[in-house]
Structure 1
Amino acid sequence: MENEKQVAPKGKFPYRLGFGILFGLLGWLVPYLGVNSTLLPAKIQQIAPNEKVQIVALLATIAMIVATIANIIEGALSDRTVSRWGKRNPWIFLGMLSTLICFYFLTKVTTVPGIIINWSLFQVALNMMVAPLVAFIADKAPKKYRGSISAFYGVGMNIGTPVGTMIASHYITNVNSGIYIFMVFEIIFTIIGLLLVGDGSNKGERVPKLHGSELVEAFSFPIHGDVRDFYLAVVGKLLFISAQFIITGYQLYIFTDYMKLSSASATSNLSIMSLILLVAGVSFAVIGGPLADKFHSLKLLVALSTVAMGIGVAIPAIDPAPWTMFVYAGLSGAAMGMYNSVDQALNVTVLPNPNSAAKDLGIVNLANSLGQVFGPIMASMVIGFSGYRMIFPMAGVMCLVGAGMILMIKKVH
C-alpha cells in the first residue's frame, strides 16, 4: 500500500499516475502503430510490390513468436527487479533505447530478410516497455480509482492508433523521414511519462529466490489460482484485437487494392478515417472508466464494446467505397474507446497472483501483440483465397465470439 500513498496522498485522485501512464503509453504506441500499420507496409511495397501481402503476414507470424517469448520473460524479470530506479523504470528506459536503435536501422535496410530480422529484434525491445508500463496500474492505482486510471490507458490507446496513422500517412512516399519523426516523438513522451509516474527506488524490497517449479512458474503462463477468468479475458481480448487488426494491418491496401484508389487518394482517406477514429475513440474512452467505477459494470461494458466493434469491422463488406471505412471508423472508434478505458481494470481484477502482476498483465496484453499478428495472418489467408471482401464478416464473427468469452467471466460484474 506504500505505493498507493505515494501516488494518491490522503485519498486524492492520482492524476500524476494517470497522465504518466497516458504519456508513457503514447511514447511507444504512436510510433509503433504508425510504422507497423502504414510505413512498414509502404516500405515493403517499395521493395517487393508483388509479394507484399504475403510478406506482411510472414512478418506478423515471426513477430508473434518473438513477442510471445519476450513478453513473458521481460514481464517476469520486471516483477523481480530491485534497483534505485524502481522495478519498472529500468526496463521501460532500456526498451526505449532499444526500439530507437531498431527504428534507425529500419531506415537503412533494403531487403526483405533485413526487415524481418530488424522487426524481430524490435519486438524484443518493444515488450520491455509494454508489460512494465501497464503494471503501474496494479502497482500504484488505489482500487476505488482503478477504472478511472484504466481510462487514461484507454484514452492513450485510442489516441495512439489514429494519431500514428495520421502522422505516418503523410510519409508513405518518404518512409525514412516518418520514422525519424516517430523516434523524436518516442523519446519526448516516454521520458515525460516516467517523470510523471515517479516510480522511485525499491531497494530493500525482498525478492524470494526461485528454485525448481517456482522458477518455471515465474517465467510461464499461470496455472495456479483462479485462472479460468484470467484466460477468458485473454482470449476475449485476443479476438477483439485480431478483428481490429484485420482491418488496421491492411488498411493501406484496402484503400488501394480493394477500393482501387490512387496513393494520393488513399493518403487523404486514411487521414479522414484516422480523424474519425480519434474523435470517437477519445470521446468514449473519457467516459468509460468513470462509468465503470460508478456502476461497477466492467464485464458488460467490455462485452458491449466488443459487439460494437464486430458491427463496425463488418461494414466495409457492403461496398468497396471510402464511406464504409468512415462508418467503420466511427463505430470501431467508439468501441475501442469504451473497451480500452475499462479493459485494463478488468485485467487487473482477474489476475491470479498480484505478486506477478507485470508478467501476468504482460500475458493479457500479449493479446495486443498476438492480435496485431494473428489478424493480418488470417486476413492474408482469406485475401489469397477469396479476395478482400470476406475479411470484414470474418472480423465481425471473431468479435461476437470474443464478447461471449467476456460474458462468461464470473469474478467481474
Structure 2
Amino acid sequence: MPDRSFNSAGNGPDNATTSLEATSDQPVYGVTNEQQPKLPTRLGLGLMVGPACWMIAYVGVSATLLPAKLQFFAPDQKVALIPLFSLVAMIAATISNIIAGALSDITRSRFGSRSPWIFCSSIACALLFVWFAFANSWPMLLVTWTLYNVALNCVTAPMIAQISDRIAPRWRGTISSFWGIGMAIGNYGSGIIASSFIRDNTAATTGILIFAVIAAIGGVVSPLLMREPSNAHVAKVKFDAATIRQNFMFPTKNCRDYYLALVGKMLMVTGQYVIVGYQLYIFSDYMKLDADQQSASLKIMSMILMITGIVFCIIAGPLADRFHRLKLPVAITTILLGVGAFFPFLAPEPWTMYAYAVIAGIGMGGYNAVDGALNVAVLPDPKTAAKDLGIINMANTLGQIFGPAVAGFILTISGNNYQWIFPTETIICVVGGLLILAVKRVK
C-alpha cells in the first residue's frame, strides 16, 4: 500500500483523495489540486490562530509597551533608543529566521517538521516576555528584547512554511486569507489591549505578562489545529557541505521574482512601521494629547485598523483564487498604504490618524490576504520552502526594524518634527508597490 504523499518534511495534505508513492528516501514536494479537492479548513484555522497570537504579543509590546517602558526608564533618550532596539533586534531576527527555517526543513519527528519548532519557540517567547516585563533598566530590556526576537523568528519561519507544505495552489489565496485575518487580529487587536496599560510602569508590566500568556496559547493551539503528521520515517538529511549550501544559503537560481517580492514586502512593512513604531509618540508629542486621550485614540485607531483589515482580508483572498490574480492586488494594496499615510501630514489632529487607519486597514487587509500566496508562488525551490519563506519573512522583520529606524533618522535631522515621517512612508510604499508590479512569473 502506498503511503500518504509527502512534501519536503514528509507532511501529508488535508482532504486528499489520491496518494502518491512516497518512500522514506523519495518524498514528494507539496500538494496538488487533485489531491486536495476540499478547502482544508482546520489547517486554515491553525494558520489563523498562530499569527494572531504571536502578532498580538509582538506588536502589542514593540509598538506600545516597549516605547512606554522606555518613556518611564529613559524619557530623554526614548526617541534615540527605539532605533537602537530595532537595529539589535534586526540582527538577531535575521539570523534566527534563516537558521530556524532551514533547520525545520530537515527536522524529522513524530510531530512533523514544523510543529516542534512552533511549540517550543512559542513557550520560549512567553518566558522571555516574563523576564522582559520585570526588567528594570533599558539595557536589560535590550538584552531580553533581542533574545525574544530570536525565539519569535523560530516560530514564524516554520509556521508560514505550512502554506507551501500542505496547501494546494487552488486554495492558497483563501488560506492566505486565514493567515491574513490572524495577522489583522494580532496587528491591530494588540493596540486595543496594549493601550490600556500605558499609565505607568506597573501597568506596562501587567500588559506584557498578558501578552506572554497569549504567546504561549498560540504555540499550543495552532499546532493542535494543524495536526501535522509524523515524518519520523522520512530519511534524515545528511548534514554536510552540500546540505549547508542548499538549506542555509540565500537562493541564487530562478530567483529574480523571489527577490522582487522580498524587497517589495520589506519596503511595504518599512513604510507601515515608520508610523506604527512611533504611534504612541505621534499622539503624545505631535498631537499633544494627554495620557487618557492617547489611550482612547490608540484604541479607536486599532479598532478601525482591525475591522477594515479583517473585512477586506476575507474579501480579497477568495477573489484572488477566483480570478487567479496575486501580483496586482499586492502591489495596489502596498501603494494604498502609502496614500493613507499622507493624511496625518495635513494636521496634528487625531482624525487624520483615523483616516490613515481606514485606508491602511483596507490596504493591509487586502495585502495580508494575498501576500502569502504570492510568496509561495515565487519560491525558487519547494525543497527549501521554510528556509526561503523564512528569508522572505526576514523582509517582514527587517521592515519592522527599518521603519522605526527611518522615522528616528527623520526626527533627528528635522528636530523632532513628526510631520515629515508621513510623506516618507508614502514614498517608501509607492516604491515597494512598483517593485511588486515588476514580478513576471505571477499574474
Specify the TM-score bucket, using the shorter chain as the normaliser: over 0.9
| Partner in structure 2 of residue 291 of structure 1 | 319
- Over the matched positions of the two proteins, sequence identity in percent amounts to 45
RMSD: 1.2
Report how far residue 207 of structure 1 moved: 3.7
* CA apart distance, 1:27: 1.9
Match of 2:274 in 1: 246
C-alpha offsets along residues 76-128 of structure 1, whole Å, 9 cap, x if unaligned? 00000001111001111111111111101112211111111111100111011
Alignment check: 8 A CA contact 1:147 1:293 kept: yes
Correspondence 1:51-200 to 2 at 5 A: 51-173=77-199, 174-200=203-229
Counterpart position of 2:14: 7
Tell me, in whole angstroms, the C-alpha distance in 2 between the residues paired with 1:94 and 1:300. Answer: 37
How far apart, in 2, do the equivalents of 1:401 and 1:277 lie? Answer: 23
Question: AA paired with 1:330?
Answer: V
Output the CA distance in 2 between the equivalents of 1:213 and 1:12: 38
Q: Could you tell me whether the CA contact under 8 Å between 1:91 and 1:128 is conserved in 2? A: yes
- Corresponding residue for 1:231? 259
Q: 1:348 is matched with which residue: 376, 399, 402?
A: 376
Give the secondary-structure state (helix, strand or coil) at the position aligned to 1:340. helix
Letter in 2 for 1:8: N
Normalised to the residue count of structure 2, the TM-score between the two structures is: 0.91
Question: Could you tell me which residue of structure 2 aligns to residue 209 of structure 1?
Answer: 238
Q: Could you tell me which runs of 5 or more consecutive residues in structure 1 were left unpaired when the two chains were aligned.
A: none
Q: Which amino acid aligns with 1:336?
A: M
| Offset of residue 2 of structure 1 | 4.3
Residue pair 1:75, 1:358 contacting (<8 A) in 2 also:
yes
How many angstroms apart in 2 are the aligned matches of 1:292 and 1:412? 12
Q: Could you tell me which amino acid in structure 2 is paired with residue 403 of structure 1? A: G
User: 1:338-377 residue pairs with structure 2 within 5 A?
Assistant: 338-377=366-405
Per residue, is there more helix in 1 or in 2? Answer: 1
CA distance in 1 between partners of 2:287 and 2:296 (Å): 13
1:402 aligns with: 432
Matched, 1:261 2:289: yes
Q: Where does residue 20 of structure 2 map in the other structure?
A: none
Alpha-carbon distance in 1 for matches of 2:115, 2:12:
19
- Equivalent-residue separation in structure 1 for 2:148 and 2:431 (angstroms): 31
Structure 2 stretches lacking a partner, 5+ long: 18-36
Alpha carbons 1:26, 1:190 under 8 Å: kept: no
More off after superposition, 308-317 vs 213-222: 213-222
Q: Flag the 1:190–1:215 CA change in 2: closer, same or farther, 3 A.
A: closer
How far did 1:254 drift? 0.2
Contact 2:343 2:355 (C-alpha < 8 Å) held by counterparts: yes
Output one character per residue of 1:349-377: Cα deviation in whole Å (capped at 9) or x when no partner.
00001011111001111111110100000
Residue 304 (structure 1) aligns with:
332
Q: Which of the pair has more CA radius of gyration?
A: 2
Q: How many residues align?
A: 412
Shift of 1:162: 1.1
